[in-house]
Amino acid sequence: MAKRSVDMSRLSRVSKTDASAAVPFASARSVQTMSAAKPMGLTVVLEAEDYAALRNYCLRRELGTGKRLTHREVMVSALRAYLASEPA
């Protein structure tokens, strides 16, 4: 299968100064209202051993309870527990 080429001639270069001025950091108010917004994406890169442990954990829980447990559910639950345990 041939690799597709992408035409990048219409893209313009933007300096970091201009980009940061156009998209400022979120204020405290906007962060508080994010929970009502649509879900945000997060990518987690795991070492092979950690990924295998995650797969095994999900499989053991599924075999024990009969209910499927996704990697996403485990990671969201772990993140929420971690954030709840940290002082604000």
Residue ranges covered by each domain of the chain: 41-88
Question: Which residue in this structure is represented by tokens 């999900």?
Answer: 58
pLDDT number for residue 65: 92
* Residue 9 per-residue DSSP state: T
Give tens-digit pLDDT for 9-25.
Answer: 676 666 666 665 665 55
pTM of the complete model beyond 0.85: no
pLDDT at position 87: 80
**Which pLDDT value is given to residue 20?**
59
Tokens 């962060």 belong to 31
The pLDDT value given to residue 4: 73
Residues in the chain where the model's pLDDT stays below 70: 1-3, 6, 8-9, 11-36, 88
Supply the pLDDT for residue 32: 57
Cα-to-chain-centroid distance, residue 22? 23
Q: What pLDDT score does 85 carry?
A: 92
Whether the CB-CB separation of 70 and 58 falls below 8 Å is answered with yes
